[in-house]
Every structure is written in structure tokens, then in C-alpha cells.
């Protein structure tokens, strides 16, 4: 099973892929409306917001955690 | 050819050490396990451990990272977009139970561990909270679940489960806390959040 290079989510069904395109290496949550992959800053903002909303963390703590998670993902290795 | 064979063997030994360390950390605790314990359990020399991991901290970080990726992926595997809240929470408990020993020591000792350990827990939580959020939105809209802030919904569940895991010595001294108490915790939580009381399908 392919794993999204930008957020680490396993892509189980066609629907999980960006634009439903299984040749893509990133998921629908990491795609912009035009189908291209979000930038580092866009993804960092999105992940931070998600962690605050679902886990209630302090915003700066959430940003630091999001940065830590992204460090380990193939899309952000440079 | 010999070079790539050596490389393969090196990777295999490293992976084996990570697996053995995960077992030992789960058994003895993250702060209490010594590299000598890991070497002995792996039947390798103490020096071999340091050949692959320059310090105990590097090894611990590698083990926590590997565990985090594995658990987060497993949570995603167990779930799909059509799951009910009860199914999501049951899958969450199943995912924890499969690696309960390590998960429990991670939860219990996070406060005294480096930032990387915190991030790993948040990553695992994110994998499950993603599914809880989707189902909660659907069930709150359908009126089968009480309306409440998502973070409190999630943290109330996590608080309950983690409390039992952190205190497993008093809740299930002989075995798995999840096997012994999981279904009661799930039924109770569903009662708390369901709009009309009782389990929602």
C-alpha cells in the first residue's frame, strides 16, 4: 500500500489519492484544488490547525509537533 | 556484490535490534532498560549495539519513531470512511492492544522523554483523531451523537483509555488492560456521547 509522502497517511482506496489518481504519491488532503501538492508552509499550517482542532493543543506546541512529524516524511527531506 | 550483501546484513541486524529493543522497552520501561539488557536479549555483544546506534538515546528515538509509524499505519488500516463511531473506537483499542506493552510505557513515561517521543504520540493520536473527527461530524449532523467540541470529545476518550493503560498494574496486573476492560470502557463512552443514550449503530 502506498503511503502519502507529505503526511504519512496510507492510501487504501482510489478515493484517498489526490484527484483520485493512483499514480500520485500524495493524498487528497495534501493536494491543492488544482491537484498539485501543497507547499511545506501550507502543509505545516494545515497540520497545526488539525492538531489544535482535534487534540486541543496550544498552537505553538501543535506547530512544533507538526514540524517534528513532517521532518520524517519523504516529501520534506531537504 | 559482497558489498551489498554486507549492507543487507547490516540493515537486518539494525532492524532486529530495533525489534528487540521495542520488546525490552515494553517489558522494562523506556527509562529503566539498559543497552546491556537489549544486547543480552538479542544475543549480540554490547559493542554491536553501539556499532548501529552511537548512544542509547539514538536507539530509543529510532524505536519510538518506528513504533509511531507502525501504529499510525495500523490505525488507518483498521478503519475506513464508512465506520461508525463505535467501530472507530473499537479499532483504536484493537490497534493499541496489538502493541499494548510498548504503547503503555510510552504513554506513562512521555513526560520525562525528549520532544521526539511527544511528537510520536501526537502523530499516533492524529491518525485516530482524523477518523474520529470525520465520524463525529457525520453523527452529530445526523443527531445520533451529542454536539460537543472535537478536542474535548477526543481528549475525554484518550484520557479514559490512557488512565487505564498508565495504571495497568492495578487494573490488570496479570495481562492486557484492553482485553480486560476495553469493551466496558467503549460501552461507557458510547453511552456518554450518544444523543439518546445506549449504543448507536
Which domain CATH number covers B197?
1.10.357
Question: Is B59 among the domain residues?
Answer: no
Say yes or no to pLDDT of A76 above 90: yes
My answer on whether B46 and B90 are in the same domain is: no
Interface of A with B in 40-59 (CB under 8 A): 47, 50-57
Find where cell 532492524 sits.
B15
- Give the mean pLDDT of A17-40: 94
**pLDDT tens, position by position, B114-145:** 787 788 888 888 888 988 998 999 999 999 99
Q: Domain range spanning residue A18?
A: 2-76
Task: Provide the number of structural domains found in chain B.
Answer: 2
Nearest CA in chain B to A1: B77
Q: Which of B65, B73, B125 sits opposite A10 (nearest CB)?
A: B73
Q: Which of A3, A54, A72 sits opposite B133 (nearest CB)?
A: A54
pLDDT for res B110: 85
Measure in Å the smallest separation between the Cα of A17 and chain B Cα atoms: 14
Chain B's closest residue to A61, CA to CA, is B119
E-strand stretches of B36-118? none
Which residue of chain B is at minimal alpha-carbon distance from A55? B151
Query: What pTM does this model have?
Result: 0.86
Q: Quick check: A63 pLDDT over 50?
A: yes
Can you give the CATH number for the domain in which B42 is found?
Answer: 1.10.10.60
Whether B11 and B109 map to the same domain: the answer is no
pLDDT for A12: 85
In the prediction, which pLDDT does B2 show? 65
Which segments in chain B show pLDDT lower than 70?
Answer: 1-2, 197-201
As a whole number of Å, the CA-based R_g of chain B is: 20
A9 lies within 8 A of chain B by CB: yes
Instruction: State whether B33 and B76 are in the same domain.
Output: no
Q: State which residues form the domain around B85.
A: 64-201
Residue A59 pLDDT exceeds 90 = yes
Provide the number of structural domains found in chain A. 1
Using CB atoms, pick whichever of B81, B126, B149 lies closest to residue A50: B126
How many Å apart are CA B135 and CA B61, to the nearest integer? 33
Q: Do B123 and A69 touch (CB under 8 A)?
A: yes
For A17-38, what is the mean pLDDT? 94
What pLDDT is attached to residue B68? Answer: 83
Contact residues for B47 (Cβ-Cβ < 8 A; gap 6+): none
Q: Are residues B201 and B86 in contact, defined by beta-carbon separation less than 8 angstroms?
A: yes
Amino acid at each position: 500500500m502506498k503511503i502519502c509522502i507529505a503526511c504519512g497517511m496510507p492510501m487504501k482506496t482510489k478515493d484517498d489519492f489526490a484527484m483520485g489518481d493512483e499514480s500520485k504519491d500524495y493524498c487528497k488532503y495534501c493536494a491543492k484544488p488544482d491537484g498539485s501538492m501543497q507547499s511545506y508552509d501550507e502543509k505545516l499550517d494545515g497540520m497545526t490547525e488539525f492538531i489544535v482542532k482535534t487534540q486541543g493543543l496550544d498552537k505553538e506546541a501543535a506547530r512544533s509537533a507538526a514540524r517534528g512529524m513532517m521532518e520524517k516524511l519523504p516529501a520534506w527531506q531537504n | 556484490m559482497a558489498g551489498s550483501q554486507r549492507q543487507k546484513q547490516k540493515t537486518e541486524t539494525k532492524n532486529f535490534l530495533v525489534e528487540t529493543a521495542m520488546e525490552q522497552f515494553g517489558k522494562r520501561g523506556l527509562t529503566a532498560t539498559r543497552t546491556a539488557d537489549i544486547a543480552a536479549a538479542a544475543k549480540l555483544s554490547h559493542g554491536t549495539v553501539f556499532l548501529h546506534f552511537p548512544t542509547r538515546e539514538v536507539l530509543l528515538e529510532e524505536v519510538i519513531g518506528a513504533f509511531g509509524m507502525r501504529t499510525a499505519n495500523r490505525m488507518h488500516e483498521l478503519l475506513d470512511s464508512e465506520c461508525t463511531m463505535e467501530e472507530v473506537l473499537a479499532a483504536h483499542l484493537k490497534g493499541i492492544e496489538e502493541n499494548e506493552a510498548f504503547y503503555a510505557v510510552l504513554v506513562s513515561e512521555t513526560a520525562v522523554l525528549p520532544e521526539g517521543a511527544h511528537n510520536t504520540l501526537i502523530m499516533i493520536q492524529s491518525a485516530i483523531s482524523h477518523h474520529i473527527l470525520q465520524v463525529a461530524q457525520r453523527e452529530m449532523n445526523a443527531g445520533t451523537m451529542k454536539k460537543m467540541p472535537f478536542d474535548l470529545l477526543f481528549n475525554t476518550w484518550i484520557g479514559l483509555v490512557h488512565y487505564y493503560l498508565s495504571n495497568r498494574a492495578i487494573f490488570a496486573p496479570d495481562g492486557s488492560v484492553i482485553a480486560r476492560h476495553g469493551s466496558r470502557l467503549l460501552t461507557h463512552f458510547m453511552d456518554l456521547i450518544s444523543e439518546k443514550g445506549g449504543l448507536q449503530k
